[in-house]
Structures are given as C-alpha cells and as structure tokens.
C-alpha cells in the first residue's frame, strides 16, 4: 500500500514498471488489475510507470511519494 494505513477494507496498490508505456497499455493493465481483484475479492490499483520515468524521472530523484515509501519498506 503506497498511501495511508492498511485495514481489512483497503485496496492494494501494485507498482507496475513497463519498458514503453502507452495509453492502451495502461488501460490494459488497469483492466487486468480489475479482473484479478474481482476474482479474489480485493481492489487492485496499479501505479504504472515507464521504465524511463521510474529510473530517471522526478518521482525517484525528488523524493516522490511512491519511491519514498518503497525505500522505507524495502531498504
């Protein structure tokens, strides 16, 4: 979970990094997340970045919220 505190009714944020992000691919990822979540009774919320955005973008180097929370939990 990237934002807020987990509780039994929380959604699940899922980081997705792809080589080349297009609107069509982002829609497809969202649809897949909805389908998988529906099948398992949870709400999956994909947080999608292109590889370039993730490795070189302001999210990583300016202390963006997603990156900061991942660092705190993983390192």
Overall domain count for the chain: 1
Q: Which among 28, 14, 22 has a CA at the least distance from the CA of 70?
A: 14
pLDDT at 8: 66
**Residues forming beta bridges with residue 18, ordered by sequence position:** 50
Whether pTM exceeds 0.75: no
pLDDT at 18: 97
Question: Would residue 34 count as lying in a domain?
Answer: yes
User: Is the Cβ–Cβ distance between 67 and 73 less than 8 Å?
Assistant: no
Residues 6+ apart with CB under 8 A from 73: none
**How far apart are the C-alpha atoms of 48 and 51, rounded to whole Å?**
10
Task: At 72, give phi and psi (nearest 5°).
Answer: -65, -40
Question: Would residue 57 count as lying in a domain?
Answer: yes
Q: What is the mean pLDDT for each group of 10 consecutive residues in the chain (75 residues)?
A: 61 91 97 96 92 82 70 62
pLDDT at 71: 66
pLDDT at 66: 72
Question: Would residue 45 count as lying in a domain?
Answer: yes
Question: Would residue 2 count as lying in a domain?
Answer: no
Question: Would residue 47 count as lying in a domain?
Answer: yes
């Amino acid at each position: 979970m990237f934002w807020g505190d987990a509780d039994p009714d929380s959604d699940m944020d899922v980081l997705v990094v792809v080589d080349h992000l297009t609107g069509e691919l982002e829609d497809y990822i969202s649809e897949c997340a909805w389908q998988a979540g529906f099948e398992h009774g949870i709400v999956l919320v994909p947080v999608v970045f292109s590889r370039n955005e993730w490795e070189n973008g302001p999210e990583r180097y300016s202390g963006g919220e997603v990156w900061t929370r991942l660092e705190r939990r993983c390192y």
